[in-house]
Amino acid sequence: MKNPMRVAVTGAAGQISYSLLFRIASGDMLGKDQPVILQLLEITPAMDALRGVVMELEDCAFPLVAGITTSDKPEVAFDKADVALLVGARPRGPGMERKDLLEANAAIFSEQGKALNAVASRDVKVLVVGNPANTNSLIAQRNAPDLNPRNFTAMTRLDHNRALAQLAGKTGASTTDIKKMIIWGNHSATQYPDISQAMVKGDAASGLVPRDWYESDFIPTVQQRGAAIIKARGASSAASAGSSAVDHIRDWVMGTPDGDWVSMAVPSDGSYGIEKGLIYSFPVTCKGGDYSIVQGLEVDDFSRERMQVTEQELREERDGVAHLLP
Ligand code: NAX
């Protein structure tokens, strides 16, 4: 039997975690032969609710769960963590401006970055789900100077999966028939879902769907999918977000299939002219527990313009919290 891996999850009593934790515990994320110790973080007022979630996890009698801890202190929850899923965040309250939201989250993610820096495994893989995810990840990274900056990522896999589902629906294919989808940029409405490289059963997707559908239907549908779900369900995406977090970490740890890639928001190294350091979603391949940004893709004017709009938004978010960055 392998040694257990320590998986820290924040916002563990929230709605995404209510799906995510059970998928991790059943082995969907790290493998059916990989025991896990769940280290759950919540804010103090939610500790009772978290106790209920833990009771349910216990009642599943998952064979792979080697332990569960709970805490309202990041240094306890992140202790020796191999994987940290930062799901908990401050939601936008009534009358709260975008700037207030950024600042409230900057405080949370600075503290959590410092705690990761102090106590997590030196190889910890960090995925930020809590919004604004890309900038929250940047803040945590900057507060963790002793950890590898590359190990701080944010989630655009849900957007990637949404894009696969839309294109599959339009072309009558299954999502597994589609390769090389890309989400560029921020996990926000400025993201750019790009099918210029995508293949459906080996054929270029761009030749299979009308250009007008791509520009006027596909792109806005993927960009606005979160809002459409809130409108229909009366609550934001939860199980799909949990599932995409499982996909993100699984592929990062176990690798992407040959001939395909996934979208991950990772620190830019300057690829495609995107400002170095921004946590920007790129197409990446993963191997041996590491990721590489796919190089050499052709970028036309239509794409370039959209990639820059979402880059600009990320710059503005970063500049909005610059006074809080070390
Ligand atoms: P919930 O409000 O149901 O749960 C969030 C939980 O986080 C709450 O239980 C809260 O007590 C806890 N929390 C707040 N501050 C905390 C802190 N400092 N430390 C630990 N826990 C803390 O939200 P949920 O629906 O689970 O969504 C969580 C986050 O994911 C939100 O920020 C949401 O906007 C974001 N999302 C990100 C997505 C992505 O693709 N990147 C998609 C889904 C989702 O919208």
* Segment 234-265, tens digit of pLDDT: 999 999 999 999 999 999 999 999 999 999 99
Q: Whose CA is nearest to atom 10 of ligand 1?
A: 11
pLDDT digits (tens, 9 = 90+) for 177-229: 999 999 999 999 999 999 999 999 999 999 999 999 999 999 999 999 999 99
- Fold (topology level) of 156-321: L-2-Hydroxyisocaproate Dehydrogenase; Chain A, domain 2 (3.90.110)
Is the minimum distance from the CB of 254 to ligand 1 under 6 angstroms? no
* CB neighbours of residue 259 within 10 Å: 9
What's the CA-to-centroid distance between 242 and ligand 1, angstroms?
11
The predicted pLDDT at position 99 comes to 82
Q: Return the number of other C-beta atoms located less than 10 Å from residue 239's C-beta.
A: 13
pLDDT at 55: 98
| pLDDT 10s digits, 70-113 | 999 999 999 999 999 999 998 877 878 878 889 999 999 999 99
Integer CA distances (angstroms), 198 to 95, 169, 214, 291, in order: 41, 14, 12, 20
Length of the chain, please?
A: 326
Tokens of 38: 């769940």
Query: Could you tell me if the CB of 133 is within 6 A of ligand 1?
Result: yes
Residues of each domain in the chain carrying CATH 3.40.50.720: 5-154
Query: Which pLDDT belongs to residue 324?
Result: 83
Give the angle 123-126-130 at the CA atoms, nearest 5°: 170
> Rounded to an integer, what distance in angstroms lies between the CA atom of residue 326 and that of residue 322?
8
The atom of ligand 1 lying closest to the CA of 244 is 40
In the prediction, which pLDDT does 100 show? 85
Read off φ and ψ for residue 246, nearest 5 degrees. Answer: -60, -45
Instruction: Please list the residue range(s) of the chain that carry CATH number 3.90.110.10.
Output: 156-321
Distance of CA 130 from the midpoint of ligand 1 (Å) = 5
pLDDT, residue 60, reads 98
140 contacts 109 by C-beta, under 8 angstroms: yes
In short, whether 88's Cβ falls inside 6 Å of ligand 1 is: yes
ipTM: 0.99
Residue-wise pLDDT tens digits, 32-65:
999 999 999 999 999 999 999 999 999 999 999 9
CA dihedral 105, 111, 115, 116 (to 10 degrees): 30
Distance CA 195, CA 209 (A): 10
Fold type of domain 5-154: Rossmann fold (3.40.50)
pLDDT band at 137 (very low <50, low <70, confident <90, very high): very high
φ, ψ for residue 156, nearest 5 deg:
-120, 10
**Measured between alpha carbons, how far is 315 from 140 in angstroms, rounded to an integer?**
16
Which comes out higher in pLDDT, residue 96 or 166?
166
Q: Count of alpha carbons within 13 Å of 140, Cβ hemisphere only?
A: 39
Cβ atoms of 104 and 146 closer than 8 Å: no
pLDDT score, position 93: 76
187 is a catalytic site residue: yes
**Token digits for 181?**
């989808």
Whole-angstrom CA distances from 23 to 36, 50, 256 are 12, 17, 19
Q: What is the DSSP annotation of 38-52? A: EEEE--GGGHHHHHH
CA distances from 196 to 9, 162, 273, 291, 297 (A): 35, 16, 18, 22, 10
Considering only CA atoms, which of 69, 62, 78, 49 is closest in space to residue 23?
62
Q: What is the pLDDT of residue 91?
A: 82
Single-letter code of the amino acid located at 265: A
What are the pLDDT digits (tens) for 275-317?
999 999 999 999 999 999 999 999 999 999 999 999 999 999 9
